[in-house]
Amino acid sequence: MMKHIVLAAALCGIFSKAAIADDRYATRPPVVLSPDLTAPWINQLGGKVRPVVYQRPVIQRQQRGLFQRRVLRQAPQAAPQTVSAIRPGIPAIRNPIEPQFLPQMVDYDTKEKPGTIVIDTNNRFLYLVMEGGKARRYGVGVGKPGFEWAGVHKITRKTEWPDWTPPSEMISREAAKGHYLPARMDGGPENPLGARAMYLGSTLYRIHGTNAPWSIGSAVSSGCIRLRNEDVVDLYDRVNVGTRVIVM
């Protein structure tokens, strides 16, 4: 009889330990999902509006490995920044773009005078006309479908680290999509206008920098012409108020 009691107690102990072990996994920790952020400068967490920079998917290669691993998606986060080699104090985003969109000297046959800016929106290039049939070419981001435009203007104002005041039409348009823009944003690395801005005529259009360098070579803006911060600083120092700008 005593043997049966001891055996039953031992079996109960075993089963109770198993139940306790299972209970460790009975309540799973909550899964936190990132929100769907479709505006490149908006991060709506905790009711706060904070500009963010999206990174392109990248391919990482093991140093000793025999395979490649593709990172399909990364959570939206600010890209690592370093000090630009072009201008000390200008943050440079380590984010590769297509080689053809990097600044370079090219042959350029035009009747426009040296110093003129010509923007080819179809091919996403900005040309600064130089002497001797040459031009300095930069990659740009241009207006998205429905926001394309063409015309001839002059640079009427130049600003370093410009503030950003979204037009009321943009605020309403984005609010209808669930994206709430700030009424005003101080200049800085997270500002969508980037490091420099050159205002065109009396329009709302500008040639400016960006906090989203991955967008260079794409049609994503509301009509403005954007360059990498490093490139817009370089262009800014080469042109003056009154420079003729041709957008085609």
Q: Where are the beta strands (DSSP E) in the chain?
A: 44-45, 48-49, 59-61, 68-70, 81-83, 91-93, 104-107, 117-120, 125-129, 134-139, 142-143, 151-160, 196-200, 206-208, 219-221, 225-226, 244-247
Residue 129 has which token pair?
Answer: 């006309």
- Of the candidates 199, 193, 197, 205, the one whose C-alpha atom is nearest the C-alpha of residue 156 is 199
Selecting among 4, 12, 153, 208, the annotated active-site residue is 208
Q: Is 179 a catalytic residue?
A: no
Beta bridge partners of 155: 200
Selecting among 4, 153, 179, 224, the annotated active-site residue is 224
The set of catalytic residues is 208, 224
